[in-house]
Amino acid sequence: MEELQLMKQAVQALMSGMPQALRDPHRPAWHLAPSVGLLNDPNGFIQHNGVYHLFYQWNPLGCDHRNKCWGHWQSTDLVNWQHQPVALVPGACYDSHGCYSGSAVVADGKIMLAYTGNVKYPDGSRTAYQCLAQENAQGGYDKLGPVLPLPPGYSGHVRDPKVWHHQDQWYMVLGARDLQDCGKVLLLRSADLRNWQLLGEIAGSQLNGIGDFGYMWECPDLCTLDDAEVLICCPQGLAAQAERYLNVYQAGYLTGKLDYQQARFEHGAFHELDLGFEFYAPQTTLAEDGRRLLVGWMGVPEQDEDCHPTLQYGWIHTLTCPRELSLHNGKLYQQPARELQRLRDEGRQWQDIANNAPAWPIDSAELLLTPTGAFRADFGGAMTLAWDGNLLRLTRNNLRSGQPEHRYWRGTLNQLQLLFDRSSVEIFINHGEAVMSARYFPGPQPLLHLSGEAPLALQHWSLTPCMLE
Ligand code: FRU
């Protein structure tokens, strides 16, 4: 579809669809969600002149994965967000089937977007161009066209440029599927963002001793934490194990040392970034105060998306809350961005045997739990979290089959921080050692019920709704 045509239809979709979307009791009170239609990956996360910009994959016309535009929100505090002009709309010959994921950098004082132009052909094949777009005076973005066609040796699945600056050069990582159906991450270099040289594959299936590791890697992101490099990536095609890789596609990270000259990345084992039901395609940015922040998509491609109850209200998916990253003994920790504490009301504290606990409202709430032994928490009858002293188990009924499904974490549990927002929960374990993010769809005014023989300390805050402007 032509760009202008798509925008006209998007305006209509918003005008006729927003009242219905706003009536949905499962719409988040303080997480980012699409006004109408489908949201997936966060894109172009950056802070520039004190302002955070967060773009997102957005289909304004429906709840399926077509017509991918870049929506755009901005914020000065990571809590209050304002809509901005739609940044990218597909329709040029090089992005006819979607302005796919990518990143933002500041070059010559302006925000520059690097994204993938996805092009599909009638025979079902596809190609991809890595493209640029530059901020204009109206707060919109002007497309500058492709800067990189498909590199030889790869399928049409080469996408999701993440660009950063390092020692006077620009670097890019791309997710790719090679001609042998191995997922890879490519490293490229440029002096001017326009001319890119492929330096090589820095990670992937059959590379660096990782063995067979999926047919496609999406949404890579490379960042430095302390003195290590962390490569975030989303492998597709990993076989599920008893307690790992249970989602349709995975999002995880590798830590190691990147040799920029040799394009070699020596890294350790792959770890999942989030052990919940919904988490994918996260992106990081370096805030001006030095923090490394991460936002993810609280969804997974092709994972029962057609069963979400929000479809009846004409929208689907949310982003995660913004998180602060740090590295401890090679392990990536994630904690909710400290700004989110501003959403807390005055709060309540409680301590006793879990069985004696009152019920706690969790429509929009934060809880800190310090257990001393086994316990079980029921979230509005729609999800449970159980700790038996070794295993933490999150359970809900599958949206399609109605049968119970589980996600797991093992370790020594000291503390849990739970962030609830209408139809989602993000569970931070031991101050961010692990996270479980999930959507769930409770009835109105859900309550958290605790049970167990062991004493437990708890803090509860209601979180103030904080809608988009
Ligand atoms: C990940 C992804 C990306 C792609 C985008 C398209 O969810 O498949 O690889 O760029 O979504 O919306």
For residue 68, the ligand 1 atom closest to its alpha carbon is 12
> What span, in angstroms and rounded, lies between the C-alpha atoms of 395 and 378?
10
Q: Which of 101, 130, 278 to mutate to test the pocket of ligand 1 (most atoms within 8 A of CB)?
A: 101
Section 206-225 average pLDDT: 98
pLDDT at 233 over 90: yes
37-48/315-316 β-pairing: parallel
Q: Which residues contact 152 (CB under 8 A, 6 or more apart)?
A: none
Q: Select from 3, 63, 77, 65 the least CA-distant residue to 33.
A: 63
Q: Are the CB atoms for 103 and 162 separated by under 8 Å?
A: yes
SS3 content of the chain, % helix, strand, coil (to 5): 10, 50, 40
User: Using one digit for the tens of pLDDT, what is the confidence trace for 131-159?
Assistant: 999 999 999 999 999 999 999 999 999 99
Q: Are the CB atoms for 128 and 139 separated by under 8 Å?
A: no
Q: Which of 100, 131, 157, 249 to mutate to test the pocket of ligand 1 (most atoms within 8 A of CB)?
A: 100
DSSP character at residue 341: G
Question: pLDDT category, 62, cuts 50, 70, 90?
Answer: very high
Q: Which of 38, 39, 40 to mutate to test the pocket of ligand 1 (most atoms within 8 A of CB)?
A: 40
> What span, in angstroms and rounded, lies between the C-alpha atoms of 422 and 412?
29
pLDDT at 469 over 80: no
> What span, in angstroms and rounded, lies between the C-alpha atoms of 416 and 408?
14
Section 61-72 average pLDDT: 98
Query: Which tokens is 425 given?
Result: 């929960």
Question: pLDDT category, 67, cuts 50, 70, 90?
Answer: very high
User: Using one digit for the tens of pLDDT, what is the confidence trace for 342-399?
Assistant: 999 999 999 999 999 999 999 999 999 999 999 999 999 999 999 999 999 999 999 9
User: Using one digit for the tens of pLDDT, what is the confidence trace for 113-133?
Assistant: 999 999 999 999 999 999 999
Residue 103 Cα to ligand 1 middle (Å): 12
> What span, in angstroms and rounded, lies between the C-alpha atoms of 323 and 295?
6
> What one-character-per-residue DSSP string does 47-58 give?
EETTEEEEEEEE
Section 233-259 average pLDDT: 98
For residue 297, the ligand 1 atom closest to its alpha carbon is 7
For residue 160, the ligand 1 atom closest to its alpha carbon is 10
Residue 205 burial (CB count, 10 A): 23
Query: Which tokens is 128 given?
Result: 């991809």
Residue 43 Cα to ligand 1 middle (Å): 10
Residue 115 burial (CB count, 10 A): 31
pLDDT of residue 452: 98
pLDDT of residue 1: 81
Section 152-171 average pLDDT: 98
Residue 33 Cα to ligand 1 middle (Å): 17
Q: Which residues are catalytically annotated? A: 41
Mean pLDDT over all residues of the chain? Answer: 98
Residue 447 Cα to ligand 1 middle (Å): 35
Would the pTM of this model clear 0.95, i.e. be above it? yes
User: Using one digit for the tens of pLDDT, what is the confidence trace for 421-468?
Assistant: 999 999 999 999 999 999 999 999 999 999 999 999 999 999 999 877
Give me the count of residues in the chain: 469
Q: Select from 170, 175, 162 the least CA-distant residue to 215.
A: 175
Residues with CB under 6 A from ligand 1: 40-41, 57, 68, 100-101, 116, 159-160, 218-219, 280-281, 301
Nearest protein CA to atom 9 of ligand 1, as residue: 218
Query: Which tokens is 54 given?
Result: 């967060």
Section 332-336 average pLDDT: 98
DSSP character at residue 431: G
User: Using one digit for the tens of pLDDT, what is the confidence trace for 87-113?
Assistant: 999 999 999 999 999 999 999 999 999
Q: Which residue has the higher pLDDT, 1 or 338?
A: 338
Q: Select from 20, 38, 21 the least CA-distant residue to 319.
A: 38
> What span, in angstroms and rounded, lies between the C-alpha atoms of 309 and 317?
11
Provide the 3-class DSSP secondary structure of residue 343: helix
Residue 413 Cα to ligand 1 middle (Å): 34
> What span, in angstroms and rounded, lies between the C-alpha atoms of 137 and 141?
9
E strands in 237-274: 252-259, 264-267, 271-272
pLDDT at 73 over 90: yes
3-state secondary structure 278-316: CCEEEEEEECCCCCEEEEEECCCCCCCHHHCHHHHHCEE
Q: Are the CB atoms for 329 and 44 separated by under 8 Å?
A: no
